[in-house]
Structure 1
Amino acid sequence: MKPDVPHDRVWIDKQTPTAFRALVKVASEVRAAAAAVGLDRKLIELVNLRVSQISGCAFCLDTHQRAALAAGNTEQELAVLSAWRRTELYSPMEQAALALAEVTATLPDEHTMDREYAFARKHLTDDQLSVVVWAATTIGAFNRVSILSRHPVRASKEKSTMTAAAESTVVRNDEKHRYEVFYGGELAGFAEYEERDDETVFTHTEIDGAFSGKGLGSTLAKHAIEDTVERGRVIRPLCPFIKAYLDKHPQYDAQVIGKGISR
């Protein structure tokens, strides 16, 4: 019999958003560092999944299963990941990364740690080793955020836009001139813009196919538009997606060029 599960947890990513945004920033830096040292997304997603398996984070497993497939991992590789030592499906570099991921997630005794560390150094440079440990550490932090907040996992066909909004985070990246939507700590999409005088010109919106069907595009558009309005700027929607969203939400017309504003 399934026990009753209370739903009164504080979603700490929403309750303390500045801290969560900082964690998201760390994850972004780790992904950039991985690419810089020759570690592809396929390997990093294996690390994300293995640590999430050890942590028992259902939400992160659900998210990174799709991300791992999108990164090029096969269904077979993901199906036997917890038994990776008993297969020959993974490259030596991937095996080294998985060994390090397990060490980082479990912090075993010194003898075990030294053995696994020595194995990893046979196949990874010091820079790569450092990035793998950071990747495992970062996903471990996301695991704890999701487990302690009790982020729900629902069947895809039952997910609504409201659920996706609750499980996602949108941030404005001023350096890249875009709004970014994150789902489970992963960058799921972005809306690019240019700023001209008092105008914010939306030029392009994109959602990663691995995160489709969750209403993240609407979540991203809503946040981007409301943030723009709150900052006292006017909107010029050159992006077809943003324009379509605005057409369905006339409450923003007063701030939109071509609707409430003529120029």
Structure 2
Amino acid sequence: MSDYRINLGKAWPEGYKAMFAFSAATRGDLDPILRELVKVRASQLNGCAYCLDMHTKDARAAGETEQRLYALNAWRETTFFTDAERAALALTEALTLLDRGHVSDEVVEEARRHFDEPTLAKLVMAIVAINAWNRLMTVQRPPVGDYQPGGPR
């Protein structure tokens, strides 16, 4: 981590450990592919190269297809995603792009149609976590490209 612009993990290890614990808590019973799609989409919106590299690799390792990853930026224009995935992606965009307005009742209600309350809560927290990681990585500016699934994060 010596190539980081700012090494937050070294400067404040307790804070970094808390972020890892928060992220780990969101995994639960969320489908791994859905979880990675949400992480990739938020990272696209936030322009986080490090997280895009990591989560596209993790998505592929979980069984995601290249076609869907390539089309994720235009998910509304394809038939590649399930209704539940589309609801999660809409929620991801709404929570990530708060400068465009609050999360609408329609977005939340559509997500509720596909996810029970505990799963929806984990999904919301997973979206919050990846947005936090995107911000942490863009300020730290770690080297991009070396991450391998199953390796250290």
TM value normalised by structure 2: 0.88
**Which structure's CA Rg is the greater one?**
1
**In structure 2, what is the equivalent of residue 15 of structure 1?**
11
Structure 2 residue 106 is the aligned partner of structure 1 residue 115? yes
Q: Deviations over 1:53-106 (max 9, x none)?
A: 111100000011100001111000100101111111111111111111111111
Whether the 8 Å contact between 1:13 and 1:145 is mirrored in structure 2 is: no
Q: Provide the C-alpha distance between the structure 2 equivalents of 1:25 and 1:84, rounded to a whole number of angstroms.
A: 30
- Measured on the aligned residues, the alpha-carbon RMSD in Å equals 2.0
Summarize the Cα distance change of 1:24–1:96 in structure 2 as closer, same or farther, 3 Å threshold.
Answer: same
Quote the Cα distance in structure 1 between the aligned partners of 2:17 and 2:85: 29
Q: Which of 89, 98, 103 is the equivalent residue of 2:94?
A: 103
How far has the Cα of 1:113 moved from its partner? 1.9
The unaligned stretches of length 5 or more in structure 2 are none
Question: Post-superposition, which runs of at least 4 consecutive aligned residues in structure 1 deviate over 3 A?
Answer: none
The question of whether the paired residues in 2 share the 8 Å contact of 1:96 and 1:124 is answered with no
Q: Which has the higher strand share?
A: 1
Residue by residue, what CA displacement relative to the aligned partner does 1:82-135 show, whole Å, maximum 9, x if unpaired?
Answer: 11111111111111111111111112324x622212222222222222111100
Of structures 1 and 2, the one with the larger relative CO (CA 8 A, separation 6+) is 2
Q: 1:8 to 1:66 in 2, by over 3 A?
A: closer
Aligned to 1:195: none
Q: Which runs of 5+ in 1 are unaligned?
A: 1-6, 157-182, 184-208, 217-263
User: Percent of counterpart pairs with the same letter?
Assistant: 38
TM-score normalised by the chain length of structure 1: 0.53
- The structure that is helix-richer by fraction is 2
Matched, 1:31 2:27: yes
2:149 partner amino acid: A
